[in-house]
Amino acid sequence: MPTPTPVVSGAVLSPSGSAATDPVIPGFYPDPTICKVGSDYYLANSSFEYFPGAPLFHSTDLVTWDQIGHIMSRRSQFQYGSDGPSTGVYGSTLRFHSGRFWFITTNVSTFDSGQLLLTADDPAGEWSDPIQIPDAIGIDPDIVWDDDGICYLTWNALDFSDGGRGILQATLDTTTGKLTSPAYQVWQGTGMVAPEGPHLYRIGDYWYLLLAEGGTERGHSVTVARGTSPSGPFESCPWNPIFTHRSSGHPVQNVGHADLVPDLDGGWAAVYLGARPHGSTPQYHVLGRETFLAGVDWLEGWPVFDEGRFQAEPVDTDFIDAFATPTLHHRWVAPTGEPDRIAKHLPEGGVALAGIPGQGGLCVRVRDLSWRADAVLMASGTFRVRIDDRHWYGLHVLDGSVTVEAQIGDIRSTVSSSPFAGGAVTVRIESVPPVSLPIPLGHGGPDDIVLSFDAGDGFHELSRLDGRYISTEVASGFTGRMLCVGAADAESRLLRVTYEKR
β pairing state of 319-321 and 334-335:
unpaired
448 noted as active-site residue = no
Q: Of the candidates 212, 190, 245, which has an alpha carbon nearest to the alpha carbon of residue 140?
A: 212
CB 107 within 8 A of CB 89: yes
Amino acid at 48: F
Q: Which residues pair with 464 in a beta bridge?
A: 450
- ∠ Cα 67 68 71 (to 5°): 105
Collapsing DSSP to helix, strand or coil, 95 comes out as strand
Which long-range contacts (C-beta less than 8 Å, at least 24 apart) are formed by 439-444? 439/280, 439/281, 442/280, 443/280, 443/468, 444/279, 444/280
Q: How far are the Cα atoms of 102, 184, 270 from residue 328, in angstroms, in the given order?
A: 26, 45, 32
Amino acid at 141: P
| b (16+ CB within 10 A) / e for 321-335 | bebeeeebeebbbbb
**Residue 204: in which H helix or E strand, if any?**
none
Of the candidates 31, 140, 307, 368, the residue annotated as catalytic is: 31
**What phi-psi label fits residue 379: left (phi over 0), alpha (psi between -120 and 50 degrees) or beta?**
left
31 noted as active-site residue = yes
Q: Of the candidates 110, 105, 166, 171, which has an alpha carbon nearest to the alpha carbon of residue 139?
A: 105
Q: Which residues pair with 106 in a beta bridge?
A: 115
Q: Of the candidates 477, 13, 11, which has an alpha carbon nearest to the alpha carbon of residue 246?
A: 11
Of the candidates 22, 49, 196, 290, the residue annotated as catalytic is: 196
CB 48 within 8 A of CB 87: yes
Count the helices and strands in the chain (H runs, E runs). 3, 38
CB 39 within 8 A of CB 262: no
**Residue 472: in which H helix or E strand, if any?**
helix 472-475
CB 107 within 8 A of CB 78: yes
Enzyme catalytic residues:
31, 196
